[in-house]
Structure 1
Amino acid sequence: MTSRTPIWKAIATTLRSEIAEGMYQKGDKLPTEAAFAARFGVNRHTVRQAVSALVAEGIVHSRRGAGVFVTMQPADYPIGRRVRFHQNLTAAGRTPAKSVLSLETRIARPAEAEALDLERDAMVHSYEGLSLTENQPIALFRSVFPAERFPQMLDHLRDNPSVTMALAQFGIDDYTRASTRINAKLATATQALHLRIAEGAPILRTISVNVATDGTPVEVGRTWFAGDMVTLTLSDD
């Protein structure tokens, strides 16, 4: 027998979607608990649970005696040939940051070896981390690089989490996205923990391959975007 979604979670999902769709702008004050209780046909305690979930996710904040206000809306994130995390969010008026979760050298997984045009069981560097804006996680990522071509890659990433800066240390001053695949997923418990969203919340996964100017693959990446925090847009750049 399938268990029903708690009413407060359903209300939180509705409000989260309305904020993502622009019904409430950043800085807007949300309706009162009483107004939401009347709208959804529930008691104020149920509404308070829903709003508390959004506060915990950083989508809204509560000011004692003043009400609940929208903290952020989805960031536009262009997907094009030249995709640079910091440039994208800075251009959108956001403050970008990255947090390193793990750096390791290991045997390439079959799909990684194929994407990077490597021999089976070749070694790769794997960089996993969080992309943030305004201190709010918006994406979980894994970037994988050929270890033989970029022997000190992880050392550079420890000093500076920027992939662009790390690749520049090896003479890769420019690289472009050769392919991108996007599909919808539901957040696992671990992904939800990192992204500060509910388990089972919608996320968008992209799988991309970046190449140097001579067409040689230099990076294969997977990124899991929090669905209500990011709006992916297609770009020719």
Structure 2
Amino acid sequence: MPARHEEIADALRRAIGREEYTVGSRLPPETELAAQYGVSRGTVRQAVAALTAEGLIGSRQGARRVVLASRRSQSFAELRSFAQWARAMGRRATGRVVAQGYRPAGEEDAVRLHLSEGTPVLHVLRVRGLDGEPVLLERTVYADWISPAVESVPPHCPSVTQRLYEDTGLVVAYGEHVIDAVAAGARDAELLGVRRTSPLLRVRRVTTTREGRPVEWSDDRYRPDAVSFSVHNSTGNNALARRGAE
């Protein structure tokens, strides 16, 4: 169960996403938010600090917190799943497994997942969507120790991350992301409903547990008309953000 300050942070994110607090406007004072949620000012301060770290809000010369960005942006510092990001925008996340099976770990699999070459690992090709519209292809390789749990996840499950947490208690705590652009091949074009050779935004990521144990590595390819990436710079924060289409 999330801590109270995390619940308040989520509530404020949703409010910003619904534009109850528009970009440039100020959040209510800490005392008002504390009364609204029935918590101490310290708890509110923790929630506000999380939004500040994400680049959603900031302050101006000690004044009340100012909204800097819409919740359509999601900082990669949050390490939120695709489904969590979609829900924060008020969208419905969908998922569909296209192909799934075990293969011996190759050199890249072994390096990224800290395994011996030849170890059986689970490969999954999944199409992810927003409100049923395909926007992302995930080619994910799961470490051998988590693969059996992934196999039991229903093929149309909207959030594998949430399901693994519910079934096994797995918490994905850290991630590394490398972003570039690639041209859509024939299969990518068919699954995403774009023309062959269309540009796709690719994110290659490795995620690990709090202890640093690799969980998965993935080659994710986004339709650029549905998702973009931006960087919010400040002296204390340089968060990369995933954004929905405008």
TM-score bucket (shorter structure): 0.5 to 0.7
Give the C-alpha shift of residue 96 in structure 1: 1.3
Q: Distance in 1 between matches of 2:156 and 2:81?
A: 19
Using the alignment, how far apart are the partners of 1:77 and 1:101 within structure 2? Answer: 27
Match of 2:38 in 1: none
What per-residue deviation string (whole Å, max 9, x for no partner) do you get for residues 111-167 of structure 1? 121111001111111121111012211011112111244434212244835321343
Q: Contact 1:95/1:134 (CA < 8 Å) preserved in 2?
A: yes
Q: Alignment partner for residue 170 of structure 1, among 156, 168, 171?
A: 168
* Percentage of identical aligned residues: 24
Q: For 1:228 and 1:184, locate their aligned partners in 2 and report how far apart those are by CA, in whole Å.
A: 13
Note if 1:154 corresponds to 2:151: yes
Identify the residue that residue 10 of structure 2 maps to in structure 1: none
Gapped regions of structure 1 (runs ≥ 5): 1-74
Candidates 122, 127, 136, aligned match of 1:125? 122
In the alignment, what sits opposite 1:193?
190
In the TM superposition, residue 81 of structure 1 has moved relative to its aligned partner by 4.5
| 8 Å CA contact 1:77, 1:89 repeated in 2 | no
SS in 2 for 1:175: coil
8 Å CA contact 1:83, 1:176 repeated in 2: no
Counterpart contact for 2:206–2:214, Cα < 8 Å: yes
Residue 94 of structure 2: which of 94, 97, 105 is its match? 97
Distance 1:166 1:84 in 2: 11
* TM-score normalised by length of structure 2: 0.60
Larger gyration radius, structure 1 or structure 2: 1
How many aligned residue pairs are there?
162
Structure 1 counterpart of 2:227, from 225, 230, 233: 230
- Name the CA distance, whole Å, in 2 between partners of 1:89 and 1:228: 16
Matches of 2:120 and 2:153, distance apart in 1? 18
- 1:62 corresponds to which residue? none
What is the SS of the residue equivalent to 1:80? Answer: helix
Tell me which of the two structures has the higher relative contact order, counting C-alpha pairs closer than 8 angstroms and 6 or more residues apart: 1
- Alpha-carbon distance in structure 2 between the residues aligned to 1:145 and 1:161: 17
Alignment deviations for residues 75-94 of structure 1 (CA, whole Å, 9 cap, x no partner): 75543341211110111122
Change (3 A) 1:109 1:161: farther
**Contact 2:95/2:127, CA 8 A, preserved across alignment:** yes
Deviations 1:24-64 (A, max 9, x none): xxxxxxxxxxxxxxxxxxxxxxxxxxxxxxxxxxxxxxxxx
Task: Give TM-score, length-normalised by structure 1.
Answer: 0.62
Q: Give the distance between the partners of 1:193 and 1:76, measured in 2 at CA.
A: 27
Q: Secondary structure at the match of 2:153?
A: helix
Look up the equivalent residue of 2:188 and give its one-letter code. Answer: Q
**Structure 1's 157 and 109: CA in aligned 2 closer, same or farther, altered over 3 A?**
farther
1:143-202 deviations in whole A, cap 9, x for unaligned?
211124443421224483532134322331x21333110111111111111110111111
CA root-mean-square deviation: 2.2
1:175·1:210 contact (CA, 8 Å) conserved in 2? yes
CA distance in 1 between counterparts of 2:146 and 2:132 reads: 34
Instruction: Give the distance between the partners of 2:138 and 2:168, measured in 1 at CA.
Output: 22
